[in-house]
A and B are shown apart, each in its own frame.
Chain A
Amino acid sequence: MRLDTDPYLQHYADRVGGLSASAIRALFAVASRPEVVSFAGGMPFTAALDFDAVTDVVAQVLAEQGPTALQYGIGQGRPELREQLVEVMAHEGIPAHPDDLVVTAGGQQALELTATCFVDPGDIVLAEGPTYVGGLGALTSLQADVRHVPMDADGMQVDVLADRLDELAAQGRRAKYVYTIPNHQNPAGVSLSLPRRHRLVELAEQHDLVILEDNPYGLIDFEGEVRTSLRELAPERVVYVSTMSKTFAPGVRTGWVAAPAPIRDKLVLLREAADLCPAHFTQMVVERWLLTQPWTDQIETFRKTYRHRAEVMLDALAAHMPDGVTWNAPTGGLFVWVSVGAELDTADLLAKAIQQRVAYVPGDGFFADGSGRHHMRLNYSYPSPERIVEGIERLSALLVDERELARAVYGTASVPGDRDDPARATPDPA
């Protein structure tokens, strides 16, 4: 007899076919054990929040606006909150009007809605290589054809982008949009230089292209440096996404998108179809947080905490990593991107790392095309400085040993080339 482990198989949509169990995800189940120092997450250090203030805010919302807070709201999000979010954008010098904004369940929902708005199966989307896993997830679940543009210390290589766009035009094809994280990119940890921002916008004009600008980390610059946003340069071409996840807390699931009016209207309709409206209660918590609390001080606390942790991580890397392992020195954000050399495969190595009680995200997760296997992403925002040192010591010992083993195993045989690995172009020590 035939035994079906999934009797619903005939009923699924085509795009669900690609969703499957993964060994890497199963390994992360071990990485979350307390004895493992995990650099794998992307979690902000929420313990640095002023919890007295948060408690007050939540209590006030319930005491003063309880029935409204627990009611449905409108799909675009509360106008009062959108006004506050415009203030947050202004803090980064980004112009916007509350009408331009749609409040979303984190930046992630904005990425998903944007993808749904633009992508049919097989459509081309250009993205940095490497790029944010969640952004990729939104695209691949819609069967987008994601093509990567390599990066260096100045962010996306826009000259390569120009070539790609020309090639596509020559084939009579076009990209639906370019997805970029211009500030303290996740995972590469670099920012797009100003000249490249101008060039990117120029290319968008030239090729009639939409840009998806994803900016969760703009305010998490260690020195408080503010960079010119793409939205500022070309408001009519840019779908701008940001979030309160890194400046306040991911648990409130509050992000937003600012888009030209026709796109904004589509996004509102799509979001209403998806989940009616953003959670009213958390919108009101965020709104009151921004209205009544010194929220910029809180951001300052996060910045200082992360700057310190990044320094600790960089010092530990410099002290312990073997020659041939390289990384970038972040000036903001939450991540260090490490290159381990062509003879090691970070996806293969994860199991051993976890057995030695340290975890990271293998680089291939940040590519749609399987490259990135000689890279890893390390997070420093969540583990304590002591744990960071401990974890980097373990990771370094592992890499020292593995490189020795690789030399012994490969002998005189050639190491599988990473010549074709676009990740190779990603930043080396800045």
Chain B
Amino acid sequence: MPAPLHVAVLNGGSSLEREVSLTSGSRVTAALGDLGHHVTRLDVDARLVTRLVDLDVDVAFLALHGSTGEDGTIQSLLDLVGIPHTGPDALSSALAWDKPVAQGLYRRAGLAVPDHVVLSQAAFRDLGAAAAVTRVAEALGLPLVVKPAAGGSSLGLGFVEEVGALPAAIMGAFSFDDRVLIERHVTGTELAVTVFDGEPLPPVEISPRGAHYDFSARYTAGATEFHAPSRLPRDRNDAACETALAACAALGARDIVRVDMILEDDEHPTILEVDTGPGLTTTSLVPLAAQAAGVAFGDLCQRLLELALADPDDGAPTP
């Protein structure tokens, strides 16, 4: 048994991914409890800072998804009050959360991302972007994938087959963010590579039984078939792992991230996004990758705590 710690598992909150987060949080709470830690599970709200300080916890386990949990907000706050936390630091989180910015970083690092266009609400409201919408289809080709520029769980995701359907898909994504990311549709095998303590876990191949890896394909047990490592040849799995490590390095992300990619034509890794607060539910990819690597869920959580405690203190405000 590891040395018992007082751990605050942070979950819930009012992000749109609240429910997924509560599911992750309940699983983490149980696993850490089984390891003998003193666990306090907190649904984050306006009393959070006071409660954390009063509880005098050793470390915070972040089981938060969506804004404030993944965009660097909570990480900065925990740094400020001097509580170590699991997962990447505030800056990496903020960079990864902003998909257009992150894609720029991956591209600069020589990695492939889908060709894309970013359009903000202001572009439409103030600059007449509607007149340029057909150009998006001309530039990127159909079909297109439309998504909010930030956020996860496939919320607000739209697949557009014809240009006439583009405005409605853009409206749908605007419900989740002020900017939409419109991407070329990449075909090939979808993989998620978890980078855990600097090492890649076996790439998980995602093959949804329905048409898309959407919300229901993600969170309905059995709705998606997974293979880890993927059924692709070994050198492809290796290439995926290298890409994942490079993406992780481009963000400067530590401890744990999940790199989502499509091997275009089953060959060329194309990065969709890097998740700095990956889901930990029973249908989530990180626990599946750990399982394939022979790492039990409890051990995964334990190691994340140890890494958090060993992380450099980001808290000291720079003068």
Q: What is the count of residue pairs linking A and B with beta-carbon distances less than 8 angstroms?
A: 121
Q: Cβ of A404 < 8 Å from any Cβ of B?
A: yes
Contacting A at CB under 8 A, from B1-24, are: 14-20, 22
Nearest chain B CB to A324's CB is how many angstroms away?
16
**A6 and B14 form a contact (CB under 8 A):** no
Q: How far is the CA of A150 from the CA of B108 in the complex (A)?
A: 56
Q: Cβ of B103 < 8 Å from any Cβ of A?
A: no
Interface centre among B124, B154, B172, B204 (most CB of A within 10 A): B124
Q: Cβ of A63 < 8 Å from any Cβ of B?
A: no
**B222 and A406 form a contact (CB under 8 A):** no
Q: Cβ of A22 < 8 Å from any Cβ of B?
A: yes
Nearest chain A CB to B97's CB is how many angstroms away?
16
Q: How far is the CA of A405 from the CA of B171 in the complex (A)?
A: 8
Known interface pairs A2-B227, A3-B228, A4-B222; A26-B19 also in contact (CB < 8 Å): yes
* Residues of B contacting A190 in the complex (Cβ-Cβ under 8 angstroms): none
Contacting A at CB under 8 A, from B261-287, are: 282-283
Contacting B at CB under 8 A, from A290-344, are: 343-344
Nearest chain B CB to A377's CB is how many angstroms away?
18
Q: Which of A65-73, A91-99, A348-356 contacts B (4 or more CB under 8 A)?
A: A348-356
Q: Cβ of A413 < 8 Å from any Cβ of B?
A: yes
**A409 and B226 form a contact (CB under 8 A):** no
**B216 and A20 form a contact (CB under 8 A):** yes
Q: Cβ of A35 < 8 Å from any Cβ of B?
A: yes
* Residues of B contacting A3 in the complex (Cβ-Cβ under 8 angstroms): 204, 226-228, 288, 291-292
Q: Cβ of B223 < 8 Å from any Cβ of A?
A: yes
Known interface pairs A3-B227, A411-B130; A27-B16 also in contact (CB < 8 Å): yes
* Residues of B contacting A413 in the complex (Cβ-Cβ under 8 angstroms): 130, 133, 164, 167
**B171 and A35 form a contact (CB under 8 A):** no
**B222 and A9 form a contact (CB under 8 A):** yes
Q: Cβ of A195 < 8 Å from any Cβ of B?
A: no
Known interface pairs A3-B226, A3-B288, A5-B226; A411-B133 also in contact (CB < 8 Å): yes
* Residues of A contacting B219 in the complex (Cβ-Cβ under 8 angstroms): 21, 26
Q: Cβ of B194 < 8 Å from any Cβ of A?
A: no
Q: Cβ of A118 < 8 Å from any Cβ of B?
A: no
Chain B: interface residue count, which band?
35 or more
Per the CB 8 Å criterion, the residue count for chain A at the interface is 42
Known interface pairs A3-B288, A29-B18, A30-B18; A409-B167 also in contact (CB < 8 Å): yes
**B16 and A409 form a contact (CB under 8 A):** no
Contacting B at CB under 8 A, from A373-424, are: 404-406, 408-414, 416
**B224 and A5 form a contact (CB under 8 A):** yes
Q: How far is the CA of A348 from the CA of B165 in the complex (A)?
A: 14
Q: How far is the CA of A404 from the CA of B126 in the complex (A)?
A: 11
* Residues of A contacting B19 in the complex (Cβ-Cβ under 8 angstroms): 25-26, 29-30
* Contacting residue for A29 out of B22, B164, B170, B172, CB 8 A: B22
**A30 and B16 form a contact (CB under 8 A):** yes
* Residues of B contacting A344 in the complex (Cβ-Cβ under 8 angstroms): 171
Q: How far is the CA of A14 from the CA of B18 in the complex (A)?
A: 31
Nearest chain B CB to A179's CB is how many angstroms away?
26
Contacting A at CB under 8 A, from B83-139, are: 121, 124-125, 128-131, 133
Q: Cβ of B220 < 8 Å from any Cβ of A?
A: yes
Q: How far is the CA of A9 from the CA of B221 in the complex (A)?
A: 9
**A1 and B175 form a contact (CB under 8 A):** no
Closest residue of chain A to B131 (Cβ to Cβ) is: A411
**A410 and B215 form a contact (CB under 8 A):** no
* Residues of A contacting B17 in the complex (Cβ-Cβ under 8 angstroms): 26
* Contacting residue for B174 out of A29, A405, A411, CB 8 A: A405
Q: How far is the CA of A27 from the CA of B20 in the complex (A)?
A: 10
Q: Cβ of A33 < 8 Å from any Cβ of B?
A: yes
* Contacting residue for A20 out of B20, B174, B223, B292, CB 8 A: B223
26 contacts between A and B (CB under 8 A): A2-B226, A3-B291, A5-B222, A6-B221, A8-B222, A9-B222, A19-B220, A22-B215, A23-B153, A23-B155, A25-B19, A26-B215, A30-B14, A348-B171, A352-B175, A354-B16, A355-B16, A405-B121, A405-B125, A406-B171, A408-B125, A408-B130, A409-B167, A409-B170, A413-B130, A416-B165
Interface residues of B (CB under 8 A from A): 14-20, 22, 121, 124-125, 128-131, 133, 153-156, 164-165, 167-168, 170-172, 174-176, 204, 214-216, 218-228, 282-283, 288, 291-292
Interface pairs A-B: 9 shortest CB-CB: A411-B130, A6-B222, A6-B221, A21-B219, A29-B19, A20-B220, A23-B215, A408-B124, A348-B172
